[in-house]
Copies of this chain bind each other. A is one copy, B any other.
Amino acid sequence: MSPDPGLFETTRCLCLAVRRASRAITREFDQALRLHGLRATQFTLLSALHLGGSRSIGDLAEMLSADRTTLTRNLAVAEKHGWVTLRADRNDARSRIAAITTRGSRALEAALPTWRNAQQRLTETIGEQTAASLRKLAGGPCMMPLPEKPSANRKEKMR
């Protein structure tokens, strides 16, 4: 009648925890950003390109801890909306460089107050402590160029 005791521990599954939290939080942000035609994923993508400058698909994937092929699809969506452009790297025909457009920057900046609001509300809900843990878990400021892979001042690959 009582559940399998050998499985009770799975109620503490960290994968479940983070996925559950991710779903709930993403819904919140998606809902808020909806008014500006953006979703959390696209907001993040545009923000990364705006702040970090044009980057290759692979660099973006690494920066966001996402699979390279996921970025291919996400960028296709952004391109369809006219938020980014994709062009070949002049120094490496294999590589494609993503760049945010004026339209993309406008959409991003228009959504900024809404984002700030959602961020503020969530921070109050979960508390500064938990927020800090979450950022630490994600590995620090995600969208900033990491020391090992600097590229802030280059638009193209160095030779």
What residues of chain A have their CB less than 8 Å away from a CB belonging to chain B?
A: 1, 3-4, 6-29, 40-41, 43-44, 47, 50-53, 64-67, 108-109, 112, 115-116, 118-119, 122-123, 126, 129-131, 133-139, 141-144, 153
User: Assembly of this chain: how many copies?
Assistant: 2
Most B C-beta atoms less than 10 A away, residue of A17, A47, A143:
A17
With A and B bound together, what is the CA distance between A50 and B4 in angstroms?
8
User: Judging by beta carbons under 8 Å apart, are B21 and A137 in contact?
Assistant: yes
Q: Which residues does chain B contribute within 8 Å of A41, judged by CB atoms?
A: 19
Q: Which residues does chain B contribute within 8 Å of A118, judged by CB atoms?
A: 15
Q: Which residues does chain B contribute within 8 Å of A9, judged by CB atoms?
A: 116, 119
Q: A15 touches which one: B6, B12, B25, B133 (CB < 8 A)? A: B25
Q: Please give me the residue from chain B that is nearest to A122 by CB atom.
A: B14
Q: A6 touches which one: B20, B65, B112, B143 (CB < 8 A)? A: B112
User: Judging by beta carbons under 8 Å apart, are B18 and A134 in contact?
Assistant: yes
